[in-house]
Chains A and B, each alone.
Chain A
Amino acid sequence: MTEVTKAPEGAAQEAVVGTSLWKDAYRRLKKNRLAVLGFVVVCIVVLASAVGPSIIQRATGYTYDYIPTDPTLVTSQPPFTAPDGSFAWTHPMGTDDAGRDILARVLLGGRISLMVGVISTMVSLIIGIAVGATAGYLGGRVDEAIMRLVDVLYSIPYMMVVIVLLAFFGGRSPISQLFLLFVALGAVSWLTMARIVRGQVMSLKSQEFILAARATGVPAARIILRHLVPNTLGPVIVYATLTVPSVMLLESFLSFLGLGVQAPLASWGSLAADGIQNLAVFPWQLICPGLTMAVTLFALNFLGDGLRDALDPQMRKG
C-alpha cells in the first residue's frame, strides 16, 4: 500500500500532568508512616507545651513553681499517687521534693526547650543562609575568604567557649540567660548550614536559568534572593529539621550542667539534673522529663529523616 496517512500526532499520548518537586515530595512523605507519626507526636508535644500548663492550672491548681502550703504535701510522690498511697489523678508524673507537680514542670520545660531549639535554629538558619549564599554566588576571593573563616571557626572547641560564656555572663536573670542561649547555640550551628547552602548555590549557579537571569541584567542581590534561595530550600529544610533536636540536646546538656536555663524556669535538661540526685529513691523525677525529651527528639528525628527521603530523589528504596 502506498497510500499515505499522516501519523496522528500525539493522538495516543496521555495528557502529561506536571508535578512540582514539592508535590512529589509531599506524596512521598505521606507514605512514610514513621515520618507522619513523628509529625503527629511533635504536634502533640508542641500543643501540650503551649496550652498544657494553663489546663493543668485550671484542673488541679498546680503550676510549674507552685509549692503547696500544706507541709504534708511537700514530698515527692510517684505518678498517680496521693500522699496516702492511694490512686489519684492529680499528678500524672508525680511530684518533686518540693511538692511541685512534675507534669506541669515538664510541660513548661517543653515550652522552653522547644523555644530554644526553634529560635536557635532560626538564628543559625539566617546567618548560615546569608553567609553561604553570598559565598557560593560571589565565588572567587570572597568565597575563599569566607570559607577560610568558616574553617577557622570550625576548629574552635565550641562547647568550651559557650560554657565559658554562659558561666561568666549568665546568672543575672533567667530571661537574659535565655537570650544568651539563643545566640550561643545559634552561633554553634550556622557553620554547617553555611556550608550546605554554599554547596547548593555553587551547583545551581552554573545552571541555565541563572545564566538567563544574569543575561537579562537582574542584579546579583535579586538573583540570590529570588532564584537561588528558593531552590536551596530543600536541603535547608531538611537540615533545619534535624538541627532542632541537636540544638535541643546541646541546650539540655548546658542546663544539666547548671549553665543553661536557670531556676525558676525549667527546661528538660535542668529537670533531669534535679531528678538525677534522687535516682535511686525517686526515679520518676528523672525518668519523666527524660523520656518526654527522648520521645520528642525521636519524633523530630524521624520527621527530619522522612523529609530528607522525600526531598532527595535519589533515595529509592531498593
Chain B
Amino acid sequence: MAPLLSVRDLRTWFDEEDLTAKAVDGVNFELNRGETLGIVGESGSGKSVTNLSIMRLVPSPPGRVVSGEIVFDGRDLLKLPAEEMRRIRGRRIAMIFQDPMTSLNPFMRVSQQLMEVTQLHLGHSKAEAYAHAVRMLEVVGIPDARRRVDGYPHEFSGGMRQRVMIAMALSCKPELLIADEPTTALDVTIQAQILELIKTLKQDTGASVIMITHDLGVVAGMTDRILVMYAGRVFESAPTAELFSRPSNPYTAGLLRSVPDPTDDSHAPLYQIPGLPPDVARLPPGCPFAPRCARAEAVCREHFPPWVQLTPQHHSLCHFATELFESGSIAPSTSSTATSGLENR
C-alpha cells in the first residue's frame, strides 16, 4: 500500500539580509496511513519548517521551497495550483499549532471560527455548521459546549483553547493531522490530557498524525516511528522502540542521555550535549553535529556523513552508523561515573 505522504529531498531556505539560512536541507521521509510519526529536534532543527512546507504555509518572502517533492496521496503538493492546495488545507491535511493563546482569532467567536471550516470545505449551511461545531467541542471534551461555543477565545483557558484548535482541525475529518508542539505551551497535567485526546481521536477517525516536539517523553508514548532532526536534516529515523533501545547516532544518543532518570540516585551532574545548535546560515563543512559530537573524528569534519540503512526501517546519518548500531550502545564520557540508564536498556 502506497504511503499517504512521501517527502523527498525537501529544501526550504530563508533569505536573510546577506545570508541564506538553510532551515530544511534535504529531508526525506514517508508516512503510511494510520501511522503516527514523531519528529524530534532542538529549536532550529527545521522540524516546524518542514511541516509548514508540507502545508505550503512558509512565509515567502523570506522563505522559499527550493527543491523537493511532497507527494500526498499520489500528487505532488508543491506543484499544485494555489486553489487546489487551499482545498486540501483544512480538509485533508490539518495543522494545530504551538501557542493556543495567539493561534485563535481574539475578535471572533469560537463558533464562527469552527463553522468557517465546515461551511467552506463541506458545504454546510449555517445551522449544520453550528450543530457540528457544538458536537466537535463535546468530542474534545469542552464542558457545557452548547453554551460555551458562542464565547470568545479569551474566555477559555489555555488547555481549553488547544482543545478548540484540535476541534477545528478535525472538523472535516482530515486524513493527516500535523501537530506542531501542541503541548509545549501548556502545564504538564494538561499536556497529558491533550496527548490522550489526540491519541483517542486518531483511533476514532483513523487519521495519520505527525507529532512535532522537542520532548522525547511525548513521542515515547504516542508514536510508531520517530525522525530525529538536526540542522535541517534527518539524522536518524527508526521505529520508536528501536530508537530508544538501539540509537545509532551520537546525536540521538546525546538526546536520550539528556533525559533525567528519576530512578538515578547517584547525584551525578545532569548530562547536556555540550555547545549550542548551529547557525543554519553558516554551517561548517562536513557533519553539522561534528563540533559537539563526542565521537567525532577527522572524517566527520571533512566529509558529509552518509545516510546508512541499518534495517529497512532504521536509518542513520553518520560515518559510524553501523558500528553504533552493532555495538548496541554508546560509551559514556569519563566525566560521569554513573551510567545514565542507557546501558541498562
Contacts and interface: CB of A to CB of B under 8 A. Distances in A.
Interface residues of A, number: 14
Interface string A1-34: 1111111111111000000000000000000000
A318 interface: yes
A12 B291 contact: yes
Interface in B57-72: 61-62
Interface stretch (B149-157, B190-198, B331-339): B331-339
Given A12-B291, A13-B291, A318-B62, A6 B333 contact: yes
Interface in B171-211: none
Q: Which of B62, B292, B327 neighbours the largest number of chain A CB atoms within 10 Å of its CB?
A: B292
B340 to A, nearest CB: 14
B293 to A, nearest CB: 7
Contacts of A4: 294, 331-334
Contacts of A13: 275-276, 291
Contacts of A10: 274-275
Contacts of B334: 4, 6
B260 interface: no
B293 A7 contact: yes
Contacts of B306: none
Contact of B331 (A2, A7, A8, A318): A2
Interface string B39-61: 00000000000000000000001
Given A2-B327, A7-B333, 15 more contacts: A3-B331, A4-B294, A4-B331, A4-B332, A4-B333, A5-B295, A7-B274, A8-B291, A9-B274, A9-B275, A12-B290, A13-B275, A13-B276, A13-B291, A318-B62
Contacts of B275: 7, 9-10, 12-13
A7 B292 contact: yes
A11 B49 CA distance: 29
A4 B334 CA distance: 7
Closest 4 CB pairs of A and B: A12-B291, A2-B331, A7-B294, A7-B274
Nearest to A6: B333
B84 to A, nearest CB: 26
Interface string B59-92: 0011000000000000000000000000000000
A6 B336 CA distance: 11
A9 B294 CA distance: 10
B323 interface: yes
B284 interface: yes
A6 B335 contact: yes
Interface in B315-334: 320, 323, 327, 331-334
Given A5-B294, A7-B292, A13-B291, A318 B284 contact: no
Nearest to B290: A12
Interface of A: 1-13, 318
Nearest to B323: A1
A28 to B, nearest CB: 10
Contacts of A7: 274-275, 292-294, 333
A14 to B, nearest CB: 8
Contacts of A12: 275, 284, 290-292
A1 B326 CA distance: 11
Contacts of B276: 13
Contacts of A2: 327, 331
B160 to A, nearest CB: 26
Contacts of A1: 295, 320, 323
A318 B15 CA distance: 11
Given A12-B284, A13-B275, A318 B61 contact: yes
Which one of A3, A10, A12 has the greatest number of beta carbons of chain B within 10 Å? A12
B258 to A, nearest CB: 13
Contacts of B284: 12
Nearest to A13: B275
A318 B17 CA distance: 12
A10 B332 CA distance: 19
A303 B81 CA distance: 43
A10 B292 CA distance: 8
A173 B283 CA distance: 71
A25 to B, nearest CB: 15
13 contacts: A1-B320, A2-B331, A4-B333, A5-B295, A6-B294, A7-B275, A7-B292, A7-B293, A9-B275, A12-B284, A12-B290, A12-B292, A13-B275
Contacts of B327: 2
Interface in B267-297: 274-276, 284, 290-295
A6 B274 CA distance: 10
A298 B335 CA distance: 65
Nearest to B60: A318
Contacts of A5: 294-295
Contacts of A6: 294, 333-335
Contacts of B295: 1, 5
A44 to B, nearest CB: 30
Nearest to B276: A13
Interface string B101-123: 00000000000000000000000
